Chain A
Amino acid sequence: MSRGKRQFVRSIVAAAAVMAVAGFAQAQEVLKIGLLASLEGPFAAPGQDGMRGADLALKEKNGMAGGKKIEFVKVSSDATPDKAVNSTRKAVEQDKVQIMIGPLSGDEGIAVKNYAKTQPGVTFVNGSSGAQGATLGDPAPNFYRFNTEGAQWMVGLGEHALGKGYKKVYLIAEDYGFPYSQVQGFMASYCAKGGKVIDKAWVPLGTKDYASVIAKVPKDADALLVVLGGSDAVNFLTQYEQAGGDKPMIGGSITVDQTVLNFKGKRRESLLGTASAGPMADSIDTPEWKKFVADYKANFKDGFPSPSLFAYLYYINTKATLDALDAVKGDLSNNQKAYREALQKTDFKGPAGEVKIDANRNGVGTTYITEVAKAPDGSFYNKVVKTVPNITQTLGLPEADFKKMGLGTRDVPDCRT
């Protein structure tokens, strides 16, 4: 073959290759979706599980939505709002995503919501953030949250506590936004039905020594309302046991989860019967939940024994995002008008109940009231005793009445006497 011919053949091959690649690219139009979770800092493990939930939702659709191949642009934060906004900004402005899912924790959610206002052309979907302020009072028109939040998760627990005969409780909770919301959700119905919260002990996040709090527990309290998470909860439970405390407890949504339930000690037995509430539970007895758990276990060998709260929340938010893309066949034109209408109409049966949103684009969903029970193999789990469907962000009150009460803080609501 002469040199000229060889070059000719080469260029033909090259041209064919280029065309093949171009054709492939056209058949596989890629849509980038930003995905933010905390892969560093105190919430690194939950953040990883959140990403698993999002991956699972995408995998169920074989990586496609609205006729396009979906690619996650994953970014990370360390659970600080500054980092969450920096990472979101990177995904939106640098990687040019048109849809953004995240973040994980409460204050991050409010910060991302505020950033969303500066990017009206991009749609933001929450990850697992549960701060009330992200959608109540000053919401962003392009920020959607398909999960319910901290206050909604506790609705119904108040009545349940009264039903168990706890007329007066003493509160021990961490001093920041998420527990404020949780306590408000509990107190809204508890106080309305005659329950009293004698006093509130707000402890700083990461408190190691609870001696002074335990010493102040009043004798006439029927139970303790404990809204602590992770190591704080373990520290408190251990020290309360050592101090000889014997009052029954009511827990927040992350107080008696699997990580806490399996700590060692005598007090563990006395945890039996502890009531708590949340948007999901390990033992929901529906086919949808069982399928979700089975899929999770099959896909993530390195995951938890059962999907965590964060995996579940990221899952439903991602699923809503992708379903709406399918509904509009991937059409994001006209400032995503049609897409956002489809998002607003979202209504599907998720693993733990219906997923739909209200006019403020916040989830309206089901809360599960659970009690700690012992499995035949000796391990502890949260047994579902009651489900409360259709809980709105205003906790069943008209929005005007709820706004009059205000968002939960250290002193709101108050029913000491």
Chain B
Amino acid sequence: MNSSSSASPAAGPRGTQASPMARASARTLTEARIERSRTANPTDWRAIFGAIRLRHLLVLVFVIAYPFVATPFFTFQIGAQSLALGLIALSLTFLGGYGGMVSLAQMTVAGLAAYALAIFGSSSNLAISLGWPWWLALIVALALATLLAAGIGWLSVRTEGIYTIMITLAVGVAFFYLAQQNYTVFNGFQGFSKIAPPVLFGLDWHDPVPYYFLVLACSLAGYFFVKHLVRTPFGVALQGIRDNPRRMQALGFDVTAHRVAAYAVAGFLAAVGGVLMVWYNGRISPGTIGTGAMINILIIAVLGGMKHPIGAFVGAIVFTLLQNFAIDLVDRERFNLVIGGVFLAIVLFSPDGLLGLWQHLRNRLAGPFTHRGSGRIHR
């Protein structure tokens, strides 16, 4: 998923056998990065505004104007659902792209937040739901899900690569079966329904436009949060750990703590996405957090590209469009083939997902002036 460590299985040994010069330069680079991020003044507004480019404004205008030109269907089912899924995928992009840890359990964390909201808040099942006020249930749901994510992280940080995937898959499947077979807390196969967002400021937040803006606000916050976080000392150290955990340990960083913290941060993002998802569907049952749904999140993240937080949202939009419209393109029984075919084509022709394709295109078109473009992707 990232360029150096998990992409090549022999990264560990090869890293230690590298020439002393390369080793020295790598170290100074990491140290310099950390140094730079420590000395950078976070309130340097000139730098912040200087970084805004035309395309950022274009995207911002588009996402704000979108619900006013699109039909309610496109606002709600395509727009809002993409962003909510994108937020869950963003948690994986952060974890995988910057932390080098691919977790399949992000949907599980989102699902726990959704379940917690139903259990502590109000739902159709009066026997189980505690009926707490929505804000209290929301806080508890987010806290519990973050805690679960940290727990999953604590369990899996000592593993690498495929073993991380396996252990998080195991946690996810275990939670799925727990939810399906436990009737006293999770209400089994049927789960919970009638979980509605609160009516606040005279607005029903389940209506397409208010819900869209709610999701948009959360997504933008999540996006900028991740963008900011990866430039903080914590974020840079995390990327250092991704590239060479041994060296970072030698430099005095607590590798395990950083990784668990990364899981917790990603878990919080996924939990917000999970809450938005349960408000979107109005219900939660084990089917929503099954293996298929867990893998969908991975597909979205890989599809968009894991080298930049925007990839999660790009992937989610393409995924949602395909899910909704592939059935119109081909025969009713074969439409899943189109979905699979498109995924395969994207991953085959661009290992970095759609973002990689975009980068490739820019490099092609810009010719010799490419140094600026690729520099923006945090490797």
Given the complex of chains A and B, what is the CA–CA distance between A111 and B283 in angstroms?
9
Inter-chain contact A80/B285, CB cutoff 8 Å: yes
B73 at the interface (CB under 8 A from A): yes
Inter-chain contact B288/A82, CB cutoff 8 Å: yes
Residue numbers in A under 8 Å from B288 (CB-CB)? 80, 82
Given the complex of chains A and B, what is the CA–CA distance between A347 and B190 in angstroms?
34
B287 at the interface (CB under 8 A from A): yes
Q: Which of B188, B193, B281, B335 contacts A204 (CB 8 A)?
A: B188
A94 at the interface (CB under 8 A from B): yes
B28 at the interface (CB under 8 A from A): no
Residue numbers in B under 8 Å from A81 (CB-CB)? 193, 281, 283, 285, 287
Q: Which of A78, A80, A86, A410 contacts B77 (CB 8 A)?
A: A86
Inter-chain contact B71/A94, CB cutoff 8 Å: yes
Q: Which of B73, B194, B336 contacts A90 (CB 8 A)?
A: B73
Inter-chain contact B73/A94, CB cutoff 8 Å: yes
Complex interface residues of chain A between 73 and 90 (CB less than 8 A to chain B): 74-76, 78-82, 85-86, 89-90
B261 at the interface (CB under 8 A from A): no
A205 at the interface (CB under 8 A from B): yes
Inter-chain contact B327/A76, CB cutoff 8 Å: yes
Residue numbers in B under 8 Å from A75 (CB-CB)? 327
Interface residues as binary, B170-204 with A (CB distance below 8 Å gives 1, 0 otherwise): 00000000001101000011100110000000000
Given the complex of chains A and B, what is the CA–CA distance between A51 and B285 in angstroms?
26
A175 at the interface (CB under 8 A from B): yes
Inter-chain contact B188/A74, CB cutoff 8 Å: no
User: Would you give the shortest CB distance from B176 to chain A, in whole angstroms?
Assistant: 11
B44 at the interface (CB under 8 A from A): no
User: Would you give the shortest CB distance from B18 to chain A, in whole angstroms?
Assistant: 49
A197 at the interface (CB under 8 A from B): no
Residue numbers in B under 8 Å from A48 (CB-CB)? 333
Known: A82-B287, A111-B283, A204-B181. A93 touches B72 (CB 8 A): yes
Q: Which of B72, B81, B336 contacts A40 (CB 8 A)?
A: B336
Known: A40-B336, A80-B285. A176 touches B77 (CB 8 A): no
Residue numbers in A under 8 Å from B335 (CB-CB)? 39, 76
Known: A74-B327, A80-B288, A86-B324. A93 touches B332 (CB 8 A): no
Known: A80-B285, A176-B188. A205 touches B327 (CB 8 A): no
B282 at the interface (CB under 8 A from A): yes
Residue numbers in A under 8 Å from B76 (CB-CB)? 89
Q: Which of A39, A85, A94, A205 contacts B332 (CB 8 A)?
A: A39
Which residue of B has the minimal Cβ distance to A176?
Answer: B189
Given the complex of chains A and B, what is the CA–CA distance between A26 and B281 in angstroms?
40
A387 at the interface (CB under 8 A from B): no
Complex interface residues of chain B between 284 and 333 (CB less than 8 A to chain A): 285, 287-288, 292, 323-324, 327, 332-333
Chain A: number of interface residues, binned into ranges: 20 to 34
Given the complex of chains A and B, what is the CA–CA distance between A90 and B335 in angstroms?
15
Which residue of A has the minimal Cβ distance to B194?
Answer: A114
Residue numbers in A under 8 Å from B71 (CB-CB)? 93-94
Complex interface residues of chain A between 45 and 69 (CB less than 8 A to chain B): 48, 51
Given the complex of chains A and B, what is the CA–CA distance between A39 and B283 in angstroms?
22
Complex interface residues of chain A between 312 and 348 (CB less than 8 A to chain B): none
Which are the 5 A-B pairs with shortest beta-carbon distances?
A93-B73, A80-B287, A176-B189, A74-B332, A204-B181
A177 at the interface (CB under 8 A from B): yes
Residue numbers in B under 8 Å from A86 (CB-CB)? 77, 81, 323-324
A97 at the interface (CB under 8 A from B): no
Given contacts A78-B287, A205-B180, 20 further A-B contacts (CB under 8 A): A39-B333, A76-B327, A76-B332, A76-B335, A80-B288, A81-B193, A81-B281, A89-B76, A90-B73, A90-B77, A93-B71, A93-B72, A93-B73, A94-B77, A94-B324, A110-B193, A111-B193, A114-B282, A176-B188, A177-B190
A107 at the interface (CB under 8 A from B): yes
User: Would you give the shortest CB distance from A184 to chain B, in whole angstroms?
Assistant: 15
Given the complex of chains A and B, what is the CA–CA distance between A175 and B181 in angstroms?
9
Interface residues as binary, B235-272 with A (CB distance below 8 Å gives 1, 0 otherwise): 00000000000000000000000000000000000000
Candidate in A76, A81, A85, A204 with the most chain B CB atoms within 10 angstroms: A81
Given the complex of chains A and B, what is the CA–CA distance between A303 and B216 in angstroms?
46
Candidate in A82, A86, A177 with the most chain B CB atoms within 10 angstroms: A82
Known: A39-B333, A89-B77. A204 touches B287 (CB 8 A): no
Residue numbers in A under 8 Å from B190 (CB-CB)? 107, 176-177
Which residue of A has the minimal Cβ distance to B292?
Answer: A78
Residue numbers in A under 8 Å from B333 (CB-CB)? 39, 48
Given the complex of chains A and B, what is the CA–CA distance between A40 and B336 in angstroms?
8
Complex interface residues of chain B between 73 and 93 (CB less than 8 A to chain A): 73-74, 76-77, 81
Inter-chain contact B180/A90, CB cutoff 8 Å: no
Which residue of B has the minimal Cβ distance to A35?
Answer: B332
Given the complex of chains A and B, what is the CA–CA distance between A117 and B324 in angstroms?
22
Residue numbers in B under 8 Å from A78 (CB-CB)? 287, 292
Given the complex of chains A and B, what is the CA–CA distance between A205 and B290 in angstroms?
14
User: Would you give the shortest CB distance from A96 to chain B, in whole angstroms?
Assistant: 10
A-B contact pairs, 7 of them (CB 8 A): A74-B327, A76-B327, A78-B287, A81-B283, A89-B73, A89-B77, A176-B190
Candidate in A78, A89, A90, A205 with the most chain B CB atoms within 10 angstroms: A90
Inter-chain contact B332/A175, CB cutoff 8 Å: no
Inter-chain contact B281/A82, CB cutoff 8 Å: yes
Interface residues as binary, B194-229 with A (CB distance below 8 Å gives 1, 0 otherwise): 100000000000000000000000000000000000
Complex interface residues of chain B between 30 and 73 (CB less than 8 A to chain A): 71-73
Residue numbers in A under 8 Å from B194 (CB-CB)? 114
Given the complex of chains A and B, what is the CA–CA distance between A89 and B78 in angstroms?
11
User: Would you give the shortest CB distance from A116 to chain B, in whole angstroms?
Assistant: 13
Inter-chain contact B189/A90, CB cutoff 8 Å: no
Which residue of A has the minimal Cβ distance to B320?
Answer: A86
Which residue of B has the minimal Cβ distance to A410?
Answer: B183
Which residue of B has the minimal Cβ distance to A205?
Answer: B189
Given the complex of chains A and B, what is the CA–CA distance between A16 and B50 in angstroms?
60
Inter-chain contact A85/B281, CB cutoff 8 Å: yes
Complex interface residues of chain A between 102 and 137 (CB less than 8 A to chain B): 107, 110-111, 114
Given the complex of chains A and B, what is the CA–CA distance between A85 and B188 in angstroms?
20
Given the complex of chains A and B, what is the CA–CA distance between A76 and B333 in angstroms?
9
Interface residues as binary, A393-417 with B (CB distance below 8 Å gives 1, 0 otherwise): 0000000000000000010000000
